[in-house]
Structure formats: C-alpha cells, structure tokens
Amino acid sequence: MLDSEWARSWEYARCTVQLQDDSETGGAEALFDQALSNGLAAIVAKEWPGHEVRRDGKMKSANDLLDVIVSELPEVTPGVQALAFEDGEDEGTIQVATGLLRQAIGTTQPIRHARPSQGSRLQPIHVEALVALDDHPALRRLRDEHFDEYWKQETHNDRHAQVRAAWYVEQLRATREEWDRRRTDDYLDQFLPADPKDRYGGLGTASCPVCEQDALVVTRFDDFGAGVGAGTCCVCGYTRTEFMANDEAETRRMIGY
Ligand SMILES: [Zn+2]
C-alpha cells in the first residue's frame, strides 16, 4: 500500500469512527468532510489512478470526486452507483450513495463556513453512506480503528484496576495479619474447586501482576497459547480480563518472550 493510500484510509477511518459514535459531536461537519474527501480520494485513486487530482495538480474536492464516480459507473437506483471492484482474489461490489453524499456535503458546507444553513444538519443516514465506503479494498480500516478505540478503553480500565488493587495491597500490608492470612494455602483453597477431581481439571492459579502472589484464579487462558490467564486475584482483588490476557499474550509473542 502506498503511503498516501495508507494515510487517506487512516484519515477516513479516524474521522468516521468518531461520527459513528456520535453524529452530532462538535465539528461533525468538518469530520464528515475530512472523512469523505479522504475516503473518496482513496477509492478513486485505486480505481482510476490520476483522476483524484485536478489539472493543476491539486486534489479534487469531494464533490468533484463524486463526479468521477458518477461519470464512470452505472446508476443502479436513483442517486446510487454500483462499483464492482477486483483486487487479486478479492472481488465484490459496493454501492456508492452519491446522491446522499452530495446532500451531506450541501449540509456541511454552510455550517463549516458560517453561512446560513436553513436548519438542515448531518443525519445518521449520511454517516451510513460514508461507512458503506469502507467495504472497498482501498479503505477497510474501520474495524481496525474500532479495535484501537476498544484497546485504549480496555488498557485504561486495566490500569485503573491495577492502581486500585495496588492501593488495596498497601492497606493489607499495613495490617500485617490479614496480609499473612491471605497468603496461606488455606485461604487460597476457598477459591478453588473443593472436589480434587475438579481442581485437577481446573485451570489453577497464575502469578498476579499486582501483588505478585500466585493467587490469580484463572477462569480462561489467552487465545494464542501463551498461557496467560484471565481471572481474579484472591489476595488483592485485581481482575485480568480476557482481552488483557490476549493483549499480554500478543505482546509476549511480539517481543519473543
Ligand atoms: Zn493480586
């Protein structure tokens, strides 16, 4: 993938994700235009190389890029063009709602440039038309972008869970008695299956990254076979989610640990 292609698809996805979360967010109109210009430029450059730029070498506007699509492709229903793509073995068709996308541009421009807007605003249906472009092989980054958002949220939550548990460990250590009690086999036993057969077949415990005790009662291992357990530590209460277990496994795989 060319650098410019990568950058356009990334810009498209970054802005579209925010609109999917909230199509009325502040600056939604600018986000929409940025996403659309980049998404269309990526598609046009891939399908009709060179047609994404004007004669003077500058990039075409979103409206001009829609003109290219309208002139090159058959209209399947009023305001909708079908784009059949082929990228190696990857074949398919996407519907480009050129009519709706033009309507959206007509809505965003007055707001962006402080002109009277006659009250029309960006609608969820416009965002849907924007999202539909992601099926084209030049884009296909929305899933990645969502993953990034999810990853940020999960790691943020995990950091908080670790800080909370670390604070709790500090309190426990201050009352030495409880700290000692929690580190005995008898204490751990309460959290493991009573039946020896179940216990043998169970997933056991793992070392807790917060209190460093072998007390994280595993409910599931990561999907990569790295042996990272998800579960809750019965000493400090820290819970490693399945997502974080997989993330840790991925990190270990990448650094060859
Ligand atoms: Zn712990």
Task: Count CB neighbours of 52 within 10 A.
Answer: 22
Task: Please compute, for residue 256, the number of CA atoms within 13 A of its CA located in the half-sphere on the CB side.
Answer: 0
Would you say residue 215 has pLDDT above 70? yes
Task: Count CB neighbours of 18 within 10 A.
Answer: 18
39: its two tokens: 């998404």
Helix/strand/coil percent split, the chain, to 5: 55, 15, 30
DSSP state of 71: H
Would you say residue 1 has pLDDT above 60? no
Task: Count CB neighbours of 195 within 10 A.
Answer: 10
Among 111-125, 150-164, 208-222, whose mean pLDDT is lowest?
111-125
Centre of ligand 1 to C-alpha 199, Å, is 20
Q: Which residue has the higher pLDDT, 160 or 25?
A: 160
Q: What is the pLDDT of residues 220-246, one digit of tens each?
A: 999 878 899 999 999 999 999 999 998
Place of tokens 């997933």: 203
Question: Which pLDDT band, with edges at 50, 70 and 90, does 2 fall under?
Answer: low
Angle at 173 between CA 167 and CA 179, to 5 degrees: 110
| Domain coordinates in residue numbering, the chain | 3-140, 146-254
Q: Alpha carbon of 121 to those of 24, 107, 160: distances in Å?
A: 9, 6, 38
Centre of ligand 1 to C-alpha 233, Å, is 5
Would you say residue 189 has pLDDT above 90? no
Alpha-carbon span 196 to 20, nearest angstrom: 50
pTM exceeding 0.85: no
- Looking at residue 212, its pLDDT comes to 94
- Looking at residue 223, its pLDDT comes to 84
Centre of ligand 1 to C-alpha 247, Å, is 19
In this prediction, residues 79-104 reach a mean pLDDT of 93
Would you say residue 185 has pLDDT above 90? no
Centre of ligand 1 to C-alpha 257, Å, is 22
- Looking at residue 188, its pLDDT comes to 86
Question: Which pLDDT band, with edges at 50, 70 and 90, does 200 fall under?
Answer: low
For the CA atoms of the chain, what is the radius of gyration?
27
- Looking at residue 210, its pLDDT comes to 96
| Share of residues in the chain with pLDDT > 70 (%) | 94
Q: What is the pLDDT of residues 103-135, one digit of tens each?
A: 999 988 877 777 776 667 888 999 999 999 999
Would you say residue 247 has pLDDT above 60? yes
Task: Report the DSSP beta bridge partners of residue 84.
Answer: 93
Q: What is the pLDDT of residues 62-78, one digit of tens each?
A: 999 999 999 999 999 99
In this prediction, residues 9-22 reach a mean pLDDT of 88
Centre of ligand 1 to C-alpha 20, Å, is 38
Alpha-carbon span 97 to 130, nearest angstrom: 9
Centre of ligand 1 to C-alpha 151, Å, is 23
Alpha-carbon span 68 to 63, nearest angstrom: 9
Centre of ligand 1 to C-alpha 100, Å, is 54
Residues 73 and 96: beta-carbon distance below 8 Å: yes
- Looking at residue 256, its pLDDT comes to 64
- Looking at residue 233, its pLDDT comes to 96
Centre of ligand 1 to C-alpha 200, Å, is 22
